[in-house]
Structure 1
């Protein structure tokens, strides 16, 4: 526990003096001169021409290529990247576990994904489900072993935030474990049931394709594909601190002999992730946990108020999602909205795909100048906007905001775009520079959750890198068992 606490405190101390920078908003990039305010002088001195700015983007896109960094000729940018790497989860000793290490630790309880069944899923979801379903099944085997249960029939899975049932249906199908998918959205529940029914028709082809025709388990399944439906049920329910998961499971599986439970969640949005950890702690019947969080922007923080938080979503996010650990709560530590938004950025995917920041970031920053010129509310939220160019973006934005645009001519807007040509190129480098902090912030959020479990005595709690971050950016899972 002390190691995790130390890592968390190091990240908190590293981020705290940089919070003004991390919480700056891109809409204020021009009006508040973010480039000169937040980019260190030594880096600015390396970026004197448009060609330098183009090369800087290439450096950020190649930051995982050590040879490229050594030869790039921009020592200040390279130094910054190397410093940021020290604060990422995979660079902190003992902070997280690799998937191969987890498989080794499962030992005799390890369950494998044998069924190749990419139907009805995207490439990303298929990658996640094939790995996560085996991990959840292995956790169930651990629970059975540690409690001397005769079989997995005594263990059931509750999938929190089930969505379309990708994970839960796979666990039920491939491993024969009873799974209850719980989601607060009726539409998601209906979609999950429809997908389950469609999935049954794909089983025979998947078994043949996976060369499992002679496997006893799958041979029996092919004789009665309704076993998928018998093992996987869904219900619509908002999971909160008062939720009786055991009652829910028994209601859906009245003949079940399950007495022990694994609480799973693949990309639990906002507060649902933290609340799953709390349920694991509060409910003695939940023996294991596998939780992959996402949507940090939907977290409700205890020590800062988010005035832009969608009030309609408050009811779906009971309690506080950050911080969880006593360590950060005692400090009154907070992130705030823009930092949480940034934590969801994908550094690896951006680098591999060489993703150029959207031109709309610059359009919105220039719109802020237009709003100031018109003496309009500069806190106005425009939202997503389809547009051809800056002129089109501005006209549509002002119309959406119900602001009279007649004082602003097309020539004025065209001249503005030409005037800030260099600044707009700098903005894209600024965005990529700021993105290097994203994995550090995410690491802080995840270590805070892990420490919450450690503080409550769960020594068998771990942070595991389950997925390829290029394929699935939210690649870390909290695993625990009692």
Structure 2
């Protein structure tokens, strides 16, 4: 990939050239990233791919398909295909983790270990993320003399609790879910007892374990939904809570009583670990608009949930999640939901999947595309409602992958034929949960239990066709039943599968090509946010100095959404 990070001193003109190059590249392949798996057979999407590309990719192994999003090419491929993959790779920011000490904030604060008490309930991924991010936040607070941290989108409070108990910071944990606040408070009581006991044992050396204060929790919707509370309304609440040792809902919402500008000595760090959708944009806007916010550290996710309106006529309400910057807005490239879904894909996750598990998922997506033909022909009104399909449950795929881990995956045409593209990290179109296939119909979500057999022993015989046709028959019947649609005979499903079978080995290559664009689109969204901060920094002139950088903080194989925007402000 091109750059691994954008440093604080990076020139804005370089950023603008980068996003312009991305926009040009994406426009050249727009039909590909706007396509959807369910339309593959119905719309004959393989016909939009260069014939040489199809001829080449339909015969390669599942392993090779899984490496495409990582920019891995083969010498014998057509030059145009190699150029496509390499250009995408070069335009994308590298997700390779950088040394945390290279961040401009991280100096003089060592990473505190997360022990069994604080780490209870955390996954390995969460411990990895919070260990690094908490140290960075603590270093940032020390650098700016900030007194408080607002953990935005705090979830169950894992980050907030580490910041409060290990780094002795004053923390407000903000989340829209009251249950999350309740969980955080209960965990805080248990952890407080542990730290109090540890402090009593070391009472002769009080400096070793000074008094700690549990995070304060706030339940409110920030910047999203109906009548959201502005994030800036929490700033007076911090001042009040420092005086009164509590935060009330009235204090937060009734921000007219005490204006943000009246909140003295309110040096605040805004922090968000995987702040979802527009929440990341809200954090950056709050940093720019509120001088009481000394720093912002944002790791975003869920680009599919970003608001994006190209037809917004009210220019006085620039509250969209994308685009944020003038530079990207002026390029006029509308991404849309399909592209933002695709941006959630991770090349690192693709390349780590076991080929057998990938083949199982590929086949399932071929079934879904074939099932769309059933809907179009026999239930057109249902087809027009665009029912979306999730993925086969993780537990079943993991079990089958373990069972087949010692089996070699053949590289024959027929083995490759099983390779319809999987959407491992695409949350809006495919959510993995349990041993089920989810179909959303209107506003209802129904779940279809469906057994997918191991396909690693496909040998390209007529018997293999019959087995796949039978599995599709079972799939389609279960889906129709749960959608309360009238049943069809097996001969209908067998006929449709026979119609699509000659092209099923092109599903995997097609969606692997789409996945090549995932990192490019994510880079486009991230650079838009970075440009926004830099553009606003330029407008402040000599009034204050704003520095910002974009850094891959985490190991991408552990945490694919690892890019952090880190910004600070200082006086002139």
- Smaller-chain TM-score range? 0.7 to 0.9
> Where does residue 322 of structure 1 map in the other structure?
322
Q: Distance in 1 between matches of 2:51 and 2:84?
A: 12
Using the TM superposition, give the Cα deviation of residue 159 of structure 1 relative to its aligned residue in structure 2, in angstroms. Answer: 0.8
> Where does residue 557 of structure 2 map in the other structure?
470
- 1:111 and 1:137 in contact (8 A); partners too: no
Using the TM superposition, give the Cα deviation of residue 41 of structure 1 relative to its aligned residue in structure 2, in angstroms. Answer: 2.5
> Where does residue 131 of structure 1 map in the other structure?
132
Aligned partner (choices 479, 493, 498) of residue 397 of structure 1: 479
Greater helix share, 1 or 2?
1
> Where does residue 193 of structure 1 map in the other structure?
185
- 1:176 and 1:231 in contact (8 A); partners too: no
Aligned partner (choices 237, 246, 263) of residue 248 of structure 1: 237
Residues 248, 360 of structure 1: alpha-carbon distance in 2 compared, 3 angstrom cutoff: farther
String of CA shifts for 1:370-392, please: whole Å, max 9, x gaps: 11221522223144143234223
Using the TM superposition, give the Cα deviation of residue 358 of structure 1 relative to its aligned residue in structure 2, in angstroms. Answer: 4.2
Q: Distance in 1 between matches of 2:33 and 2:347?
A: 15
> Where does residue 434 of structure 2 map in the other structure?
none
CA RMSD of aligned residues (A): 3.1
Moved more, 459-468 or 253-262: 253-262
Using the TM superposition, give the Cα deviation of residue 476 of structure 1 relative to its aligned residue in structure 2, in angstroms. Answer: 0.4
Match of 1:262, SS state, is strand
Q: Distance in 1 between matches of 2:280 and 2:130?
A: 18
Aligned partner (choices 24, 39, 47) of residue 35 of structure 2: 24
Residues 141, 219 of structure 1: alpha-carbon distance in 2 compared, 3 angstrom cutoff: closer
Aligned partner (choices 545, 548, 560) of residue 461 of structure 1: 548
String of CA shifts for 1:389-419, please: whole Å, max 9, x gaps: 42233223323444323xx211321343344
Aligned partner (choices 163, 166, 175) of residue 167 of structure 2: 175
- 2:154 and 2:174 in contact (8 A); partners too: yes
> Where does residue 89 of structure 2 map in the other structure?
85
Moved more, 251-260 or 27-36: 251-260
Using the TM superposition, give the Cα deviation of residue 107 of structure 1 relative to its aligned residue in structure 2, in angstroms. Answer: 6.1
Say whether 1:276 aligns with 2:283.
yes
Q: Distance in 1 between matches of 2:495 and 2:268?
A: 64
Residues 107, 360 of structure 1: alpha-carbon distance in 2 compared, 3 angstrom cutoff: closer
> Where does residue 18 of structure 2 map in the other structure?
7
Residues 369, 439 of structure 1: alpha-carbon distance in 2 compared, 3 angstrom cutoff: same
Q: Distance in 1 between matches of 2:477 and 2:21?
A: 47
Aligned partner (choices 500, 506, 531) of residue 451 of structure 1: 531
Using the TM superposition, give the Cα deviation of residue 238 of structure 1 relative to its aligned residue in structure 2, in angstroms. Answer: 1.5
- 1:161 and 1:183 in contact (8 A); partners too: yes
Give ranges in structure 2 of 5+ residues lacking alignment: 1-11, 224-228, 246-263, 313-317, 390-437, 439-447, 452-470, 538-544
> Where does residue 219 of structure 2 map in the other structure?
236
Residues 251, 299 of structure 1: alpha-carbon distance in 2 compared, 3 angstrom cutoff: same
Q: Distance in 2 between matches of 1:116 and 1:328?
A: 44
Q: Distance in 1 between matches of 2:176 and 2:493?
A: 46
Q: Distance in 2 between matches of 1:288 and 1:182?
A: 17
Aligned partner (choices 435, 441, 456) of residue 515 of structure 2: 435
Say whether 1:161 aligns with 2:153.
yes
Residues 215, 160 of structure 1: alpha-carbon distance in 2 compared, 3 angstrom cutoff: farther
- 2:69 and 2:347 in contact (8 A); partners too: no
Q: Distance in 2 between matches of 1:24 and 1:295?
A: 19
> Where does residue 315 of structure 1 map in the other structure?
none
Match of 1:473, SS state, is coil
Taking structure 2 as the reference length, what is the TM-score of the superposition?
0.70
- 1:292 and 1:475 in contact (8 A); partners too: yes
Match of 1:180, SS state, is strand
Residues 372, 197 of structure 1: alpha-carbon distance in 2 compared, 3 angstrom cutoff: same
Q: Size of the alignment, in residue pairs?
A: 436
Q: Distance in 2 between matches of 1:215 and 1:426?
A: 71
- 1:323 and 1:333 in contact (8 A); partners too: no
Residues 216, 258 of structure 1: alpha-carbon distance in 2 compared, 3 angstrom cutoff: farther
Aligned partner (choices 35, 39, 55) of residue 45 of structure 1: 55
- 1:109 and 1:142 in contact (8 A); partners too: no
- 1:97 and 1:462 in contact (8 A); partners too: no
Residues 479, 401 of structure 1: alpha-carbon distance in 2 compared, 3 angstrom cutoff: same
Say whether 1:410 aligns with 2:409.
no
String of CA shifts for 1:73-132, please: whole Å, max 9, x gaps: 445555543232111112xxxxx9963265463464444234444422011111111011
> Where does residue 142 of structure 1 map in the other structure?
143
Moved more, 104-113 or 197-206: 197-206
Residues 462, 205 of structure 1: alpha-carbon distance in 2 compared, 3 angstrom cutoff: farther
- 1:124 and 1:472 in contact (8 A); partners too: yes
Q: Distance in 2 between matches of 1:445 and 1:464?
A: 14
